[in-house]
Amino acid sequence: MRIHIVGGPGSGKTTVAEDLASSTGIPVFSLDEVAYRVQGTAVRPLEDRQRIVREIASLKEWITEGVYLWWTDELLSAADVVLWLDPRWRVAVWRIVVRHIRKSIAGSYAFSGVRQLLHFLRLARMYYMVATPVRPA
């Protein structure tokens, strides 16, 4: 089984991927780890990202999760199932804030602090404003 999970920040991609991996034993690949040399630092060159994606796609089974689209086309083509997670903004923002607080308290977050959280929320909001049509109140 090959499963590709796509969605915006805070949509639940990692949680769904981990739950599926736990119940199936299929390995999970985070596309953030493919995109960056070290989480949140230098972006990995395109050729390297595409090589890693090809290696993952050639495996017998996998679960991938990430917000990335065009350089991950090989995963979309090879997947048996594609899940697109699309929660409302208020759900995503709640998840982002809770994740930030939990990881910051645990000391396992490279982006601790209110400034980092606000910066990420601005970026995430742009994703949801572009990706989701404005709904009437």
Range of the domain at 101: 89-131
Percent of the chain with pLDDT over 90: 64
117 with 103, same domain: the answer is yes
pLDDT at 107 over 50: yes
- Is residue 136 in a domain? no
Q: Is 79:2 a contact under the CB 8 Å cutoff?
A: yes
Asked whether residue 137 is assigned to any structural domain, the reply reads no
The predicted model scores a pTM of 0.83
Which residue in the block uniquely carries the two structure tokens 């209110």? 114
6 and 71: one domain? yes
Domain count, the chain: 2
Residue 64 forms part of a structural domain: yes
- In this structure, the answer to whether residues 71 and 101 fall within a common structural domain is no
Q: Enter the tokens of residue 133.
A: 């049509």
pLDDT tens for each residue of 2-61: 999 999 999 999 999 999 999 999 999 999 999 987 665 688 999 999 999 999 999 999
- Same-domain pairing of 103 and 116: yes
Is the residue at 39 inside a domain?
A: yes
